[in-house]
Structure 1
Amino acid sequence: MRLAWPLVTGTAAMTGSVSVLLAGMAGTAPLAIGLGVALLGCVALLAQPFLGLATLAVFAHLDAVEKTLFGFLPVSAFKLLSGLTVLAILLNGPRLRRNIHDALREPVIVAGVCLVAIGFVSAIFAEDKAMALSSLQKLLSLLLLPFLVVVLADTPRRVALLICVLVATSVASALILGADFALGVQLFAQSDAATTARTVEGVSRSSGGSDYNPTTAASLMLVGVVVALSHAMETRQRRVLLLMAVAIGTGALILSFARSAALSFSVVALLIGWRHRHARFAVPVAGLVLLMMIAALPLIPAEYWQRLSSFFGGAADHTLGRRMTYNIIGLDLFTRNPLLGLGPGNFVHHFTDPEYRHLPGRTMLGRELHNMYLSVLVQYGLIGGAAYFAMLIAAMRHLGAVIRHPASEAMRVQAVALRFGLFAYLLVSLFLPNEYTKYSWLLPGIAAALHRCNRLAWEGA
């Protein structure tokens, strides 16, 4: 096994070189260049699997950019990269043996495995077997994310890099969203969910660099903005740069017209402010933020205020009532199958049941339940819900343990920032079906990796 990865990388290099040579001789220069770049990437990934994980973390948010760059491939670039990263782990097996052993005992991953096992049992009784199997395939690929993070993010520096990716991708998506709004186009988004959504005022919305719908894309951006804000408040390091990221991200959250993200951001920002209420810089920073908010008021579209006013009945918006109907249907379905649920993905199938035809907002097209927690209970029942919630609770407990007993100041700051970011994401998930969103699995994985690095640092000390 120690000679496996040099043998494979050597074989890949030879095979790739021949392919590039043949493509060049055939006169297809773009193909030759593309093959050469792909070859170098594969060799680098096999030699250093963390590069694959870092790229997966980037594409977990910027999936629209990924599809634009690699949409010509016969399979998803994300799945292909995940497979290559797993292969690289296998080839580096002896060196990563302890990491793999720790990952298999990690509570976050064990809870995820339990959810998948319960999902298979629940799928047996599901009415729509095809939909259940499709959702289980998603679940298995998502479970791979925290496993890869715990195995490969095995140093504080690597964990810090993944946290930086959360902020950097939020800034990148925010800039793309701003460009979309200014130009009135969709630069990267391709999916129907990302390109057809509009506000009730008729203003076109953008998902930025994500291919999720604009509201879900805003929840991903929210994580990076909150992490940057918390980090900037905890330490002086890179404070100016992080506050710039917060300003850019906040502007993009406004232009996303996502009410759930606005509500969650407001709550978490108040909590962060309360945490630092006794700091010397609290009053000056609060004053500066207030001045910036006042200065930005003329730049905020009037449609944004109209959309927020729907919270208080100030604007007619049928989507709020429709989402309440989703929850009513979800509660009814949960009471009918409380232990194992309807089966993975089967809420969409039961949503169109004629029994619910008289409820306001019910459509003939299947819709997802816009509440991650109730959605999990409806699909997987109390048993599956217990496993999923255990995964999220374990992630929060890991971060709390690092904050109470940090091996370094940097790790404490990262834990505080990540805890606020995860809390903001879990809060906004009250209004979104995020159980199959990549961040729902990536963030607990980073929390577990940070906790493991902190524990190893103490053991080494």
Structure 2
Amino acid sequence: MIVATAVGALLALLCLGLLASPWPFLAPFVVIGLAGLAALYRRPAWGLLGIAALVPFEGLFKGTEFTGAKLLGVSMIGILAVQLLLRQLPEARLRNNLWRPLVLFMLAYLISLMFTERLGLSLGHLRELAVGLALFFISVLVAAELDLKMLFRLVSLSVAATCALALVSAQHQVGGRAIGLLEDANYFALLIAFAAPMSAWLALRARHLLTRVGWLAVTLLLLAGMTKTDSRSGLVVLISCLLIGLWHHRAELRQIRSRHLGFVLLGAAIVVPLGLMSLPADYVARIKSLVELKSGINAHQDASLGRRASYLVVGSQMIRDNPLVGSGPGTFPVHYAATGFAKAFSEEAGTSDLYRRAHNTYLELFSEIGIPGGLLFIALVLLGLRNFERARQASQACDDGEQADLATHLALSFLAMALFLMFLSAPNHKYLWIMLGLSGYLRLDAESRLARFRQMT
């Protein structure tokens, strides 16, 4: 009763203050905001779902201080902190086997920060990484309440919506390459590769034919968006995940009877040629360049591959110069700009195009925070993948095929992220840290279900 009275009084004061201010039209939003906070307090997992759904639309809020994702994130941190202080959340929620490697990684990161060459750049890098760390904390605490099927739906639909925009509007393309609502085609390809296993799971597990057709259409839309990005790394990652997914579902593939095989072959004979014919000519040419890598990289013929080779040269030299603590978080662009590669591969006039990131998260971390910090980050990623694998194994041992498939497709999405980090600099990507937080809970939950299953049997 006291809390309700205090909230009501606060609401009245805020509304009166806004009515007396130059912005009286904001008064109704106070009520809406408090109602939203109340809903988040009761269901914090809804906030994480909202953040995940807003990731593909971040380009809409570029340059604005207060975005939907920021407001949700700050609100959830405050709400979860209050619930922890009031002991409204069980301490078991904090259990996660990634805390130890994460603490060690942050220790190596802070040591590198102490010896950084550019303190301003490093503090900016730390501020960006703090977003990912906050999402990891949120994910660990709300994972037990999170509806993973709803997460699959929201991520698949939000990424597919930006794919549709990129396919029909030239405004969401740069140089003919789809970027969605982002600024880079490869980052857009990362979102597509991340969402594709989720939409595929929804199509496979749909109970009604019409629903299955709908999710299959979403999956095909994602694949069409991938071809429009002209991303070679995206194709490699997507094919790798597809092959692993087929291996996991090999038991279902064996159920195809001989009388159905003809229809399967007929469908493949129609879909495969049509798919190859629909590929843009530029994309086909870029794919062919991967086959020619065995004869060496010709920077004059393919500037993109030449740039990536130059990142390796610069990063390797940085590691040799500072193997233990690196040159400092966020300092790779400064080192690269000081080399002749920057001018040779510059695409635009001016100095801004000279400062390029490594386009390889692992290389960037090794060169910026040192070998120990880089190894600890890799350990985080590998342990996350191991958590999903153990969750799948435990679910299979419980004869829970649906949960096993769900864990597998989560692992495929996380694997797509981990592989893409070799082609992009994104150590603070929201999906990366959300998946790391979920992996520990998913493993604990599956192993506890397995223990109960064995006691019952």
Q: Which TM-score bucket, shorter chain as reference?
A: 0.7 to 0.9
Counterpart for residue 46 of structure 1 = 41
Residue among 303, 312, 316 paired with 2:282:
303
Counterpart for residue 37 of structure 1 = 32
Counterpart for residue 70 of structure 2 = 79
Which aligned pairs between 1:241-260 and structure 2 lie closer than 5 A?
A: 241-260=214-233
Residues in 2 aligned to 1:439 and 1:266: alpha-carbon distance in whole angstroms: 20
Deviations 1:191-237 (A, max 9, x none): xxxx8xx4xxx42x33224x352211210221111233356457867
C-alpha deviation, 1:412, in angstroms: 0.8
Counterpart for residue 224 of structure 1 = 195
Which aligned pairs between 1:196-211 and structure 2 lie closer than 5 A?
A: 198=174, 202-203=175-176, 205-209=177-181, 211=182
Residues 1:361 and 2:352 aligned together: no
C-alpha deviation, 1:303, in angstroms: 2.8
C-alpha deviation, 1:399, in angstroms: 1.0
Residue among 183, 204, 223 paired with 2:169:
183
Of residues 17-26 and 399-408 in structure 1, the stretch that sits farther from structure 2 once superposed is: 17-26
Counterpart for residue 327 of structure 2 = 342
Counterpart for residue 92 of structure 1 = 83
Of residues 27-36 and 450-459 in structure 1, the stretch that sits farther from structure 2 once superposed is: 27-36
Residues in 2 aligned to 1:62 and 1:281: alpha-carbon distance in whole angstroms: 40
Residue among 417, 421, 430 paired with 2:422:
430
Which aligned pairs between 1:43-442 and structure 2 lie closer than 5 A?
A: 43-65=38-60, 67=61, 74-93=65-84, 94-102=87-95, 106-155=96-145, 158-178=147-167, 182-186=168-172, 198=174, 202-203=175-176, 205-209=177-181, 211-229=182-200, 232=203, 239-277=212-250, 278-281=253-256, 283=261, 284-285=263-264, 287-312=266-291, 316-354=301-339, 356=340, 361=345, 365-406=354-395, 407=398, 408-442=400-434
Pairs aligned (count): 429
TM-score (norm 2): 0.83
C-alpha deviation, 1:130, in angstroms: 0.6
C-alpha deviation, 1:298, in angstroms: 4.6
Deviations 1:24-55 (A, max 9, x none): 79897863454443232122112322222221
Give the conservation status (yes or no) of the 8 Å contact 1:221–1:253. yes
Residues in 2 aligned to 1:10 and 1:396: alpha-carbon distance in whole angstroms: 48
Residues in 1 aligned to 2:29 and 2:342: alpha-carbon distance in whole angstroms: 55
Residues in 2 aligned to 1:281 and 1:38: alpha-carbon distance in whole angstroms: 53
Residues in 2 aligned to 1:440 and 1:286: alpha-carbon distance in whole angstroms: 38
Question: What secondary structure is seen at the aligned counterpart in 2 of 1:343?
Answer: coil
The residue type equivalent to 1:279 in the other structure is R
Give the conservation status (yes or no) of the 8 Å contact 2:156–2:218. yes
C-alpha deviation, 1:292, in angstroms: 2.2
Of residues 20-29 and 244-253 in structure 1, the stretch that sits farther from structure 2 once superposed is: 20-29
The residue type equivalent to 2:107 in the other structure is A
Question: What secondary structure is seen at the aligned counterpart in 2 of 1:80?
Answer: helix
Residues in 1 aligned to 2:373 and 2:320: alpha-carbon distance in whole angstroms: 15
The residue type equivalent to 1:148 in the other structure is I
TM-score (norm 1): 0.82
Give the conservation status (yes or no) of the 8 Å contact 1:231–1:417. no
Give the conservation status (yes or no) of the 8 Å contact 2:94–2:140. no
Question: What secondary structure is seen at the aligned counterpart in 2 of 1:432?
Answer: coil
C-alpha deviation, 1:114, in angstroms: 2.2
C-alpha deviation, 1:249, in angstroms: 0.4
Give the conservation status (yes or no) of the 8 Å contact 1:50–1:153. yes
Of residues 131-140 and 225-234 in structure 1, the stretch that sits farther from structure 2 once superposed is: 225-234
C-alpha deviation, 1:290, in angstroms: 4.8
C-alpha deviation, 1:384, in angstroms: 0.7
C-alpha deviation, 1:313, in angstroms: 5.4
Distance 1:239 1:310, change over 3 A: same
The residue type equivalent to 2:369 in the other structure is Y
Residues in 1 aligned to 2:270 and 2:218: alpha-carbon distance in whole angstroms: 18
Rg bigger for which structure? Answer: 2
Give the conservation status (yes or no) of the 8 Å contact 1:169–1:224. no
Distance 1:289 1:261, change over 3 A: farther
Counterpart for residue 192 of structure 1 = none
Cα RMSD for the two superposed structures = 3.2
Residues in 1 aligned to 2:265 and 2:437: alpha-carbon distance in whole angstroms: 33
Residues in 2 aligned to 1:90 and 1:304: alpha-carbon distance in whole angstroms: 48
Distance 1:212 1:154, change over 3 A: farther
The residue type equivalent to 2:184 in the other structure is N
Residues in 1 aligned to 2:114 and 2:391: alpha-carbon distance in whole angstroms: 40
Distance 1:323 1:20, change over 3 A: same
Counterpart for residue 191 of structure 1 = none
User: Percent same amino acid among aligned pairs?
Assistant: 21
Of residues 212-221 and 74-83 in structure 1, the stretch that sits farther from structure 2 once superposed is: 74-83
Give the conservation status (yes or no) of the 8 Å contact 1:341–1:381. yes
Residues in 2 aligned to 1:223 and 1:426: alpha-carbon distance in whole angstroms: 10
Counterpart for residue 296 of structure 2 = none
